[in-house]
Amino acid sequence: MADAGASEKQAPQEPSRAHVVLRQIFTGSAIISVFAVVLAIVVGAVLIAVTDEQVQESAGYFFARPTDMLTAIWDAVSGAYSSLFQGSVYNFRRPGFENGIKPLTETLTFATPLIVAGLGVALAFRVGMFNIGGRGQMLIAAACAGWVGFSLQLPAGLHLVLAIVAGVVGGAVWGGIAGVLKARTGAHEVIVTIMLNYVAFYLVAYLLRTPGTLQAPGQNNPKTAAMESTAVFPKLFGDRYSLHLGFLLVVIVTVGVWWLLERSSLGFRFRAVGENPHASKIAGIDVNRMYLYAMVLSGALVGLAGVAQVLGTVTTGFGADIDAGIGFDAITVALLGRSKPWGVFFAGILFGAFKAGGFAMQAAEGIPIDIVLVVQSVIVLFIAAPPLVRAVFRLPPPGAEVAARADTAKVAAL
């Protein structure tokens, strides 16, 4: 009886539900993204303080009056991040709620192409492919959608739908080229998509300089004509705000990509190929076909970002720089979102806030816009090094809970 009582005392106790939830949160991959952003903001604060003139001046007599330097650091960092917030979320200096909330609409406008392009890159990531051709796919999609938008005369609803379809198909075809080469010849998609970026850029640049193609009639500048009003995304809250219908379309697309990856049989095959293409092939999955489908869908999603640019953001005509670096920023957004649709959605909003608030920070505080770019780059650096983030914040490694419970069970069995 005594031995039975002792064994009962040594039996491991099941952790509470709250403990399990907290352990899952702090050992999951999502928390790495959150802490990567926190660390990047800290690094940005250090750079802001180091480059501030007042801080540099007060550092010269730090030992005589140390509080001057500390005050200068606080003023520089708090002023910069306050301007970043007021330029991206809510500006308390503007009278009225309607004026104060305008920065948030600017953030969502910047985030619209970032989100959908990030979804395209993330989808390719889930299949084990690296779509580095976002720039080319956006340019081709913008050219197709833009040509339909300014050259055709159609009824309002039909014109907009046709322009969207033209852009999505253009991006899908451009992404599909890499998919076909990967499936048929084994060509690495990174090399192919990078080369296709240059092909698309010079092709669009040529068309913008050629009368009768993309160049606006009677103009010498490499720029298209303005989009017809029937082919432009309508504003969601009137002309006062820049947020347009494209954002709602992106929300719908995010839901669709989530369903595709997490609930459909095609998404299951995508994920299986991404985890282990050799095992998937043995299981009867046509791996090459999955590569082709993935690049076509990825190109279509990235192409939708180009559509959002020409039909929603830059409707007065565009040049060869219409991609605005979004094709490469989408890679960072997909990494921060851990290639999960809703993770990419919120990562896109965060980077949209960086873009919208970065200009306000530069105008109000004189902080170089390059600081924001450094913060974005540091985010990628920390995401690429999860052990570093876990070491800084003393997070338990993945699987620590399972290992601890297994050790407890072994001890109890002795």
Question: For residue range 52-97, what is the model confidence (pLDDT) as tens digits?
Answer: 889 989 988 888 888 999 999 999 999 989 988 998 999 888 888 8
Mean pLDDT, range 365-384, rounded to an integer: 81
Report the percentage of the chain scoring pLDDT > 70.
89
Q: What is residue 184's predicted lDDT score, i.e. its pLDDT?
A: 92
Which pair of tokens denotes residue 51? 């480059």
Handedness of CA 268, 274, 275, 280 (dihedral sign): positive
Mean pLDDT, range 130-135, rounded to an integer: 93
CA distances from 401 to 8, 222, 406, 408 (A): 22, 60, 9, 11
Half-sphere exposure of 286 (CA within 13 A, CB side): 9
Q: What is residue 400's predicted lDDT score, i.e. its pLDDT?
A: 52
Listed in sequence order, the DSSP H helices in 152-188 are 156-185
- For residues 109 and 254, is the Cβ–Cβ distance under 8 A? no
Going by C-beta distance under 8 Å and a sequence separation of 6 or more, which residues neighbour residue 369?
358, 359, 361, 362
Q: What is residue 5's predicted lDDT score, i.e. its pLDDT?
A: 52
Going by C-beta distance under 8 Å and a sequence separation of 6 or more, which residues neighbour residue 403?
none
- The distance from CA 379 to its chain's CA centroid, rounded to whole angstroms, is 12
Give residue 107's pLDDT band: very low, low, confident or very high (50, 70, 90).
very high
pLDDT of 401 higher than 70: no
pLDDT of 26 higher than 60: no
Give residue 14's pLDDT band: very low, low, confident or very high (50, 70, 90).
low
Give the integer Cα–Cα distance in Å for 348 and 340: 12
pLDDT of 120 higher than 70: yes
Give residue 402's pLDDT band: very low, low, confident or very high (50, 70, 90).
very low
Mean pLDDT, range 305-330, rounded to an integer: 93
Mean model confidence pLDDT for the chain: 87
Question: 229: which DSSP letter?
Answer: G
Over the stretch 213-265, which tens digit does the pLDDT of each residue have?
999 988 888 999 999 999 999 999 888 899 999 999 999 999 999 999 999 99
- For residues 120 and 300, is the Cβ–Cβ distance under 8 A? yes
Residue with tokens 């180091």: 50
Cross-strand bridge partners of residue 211: 215
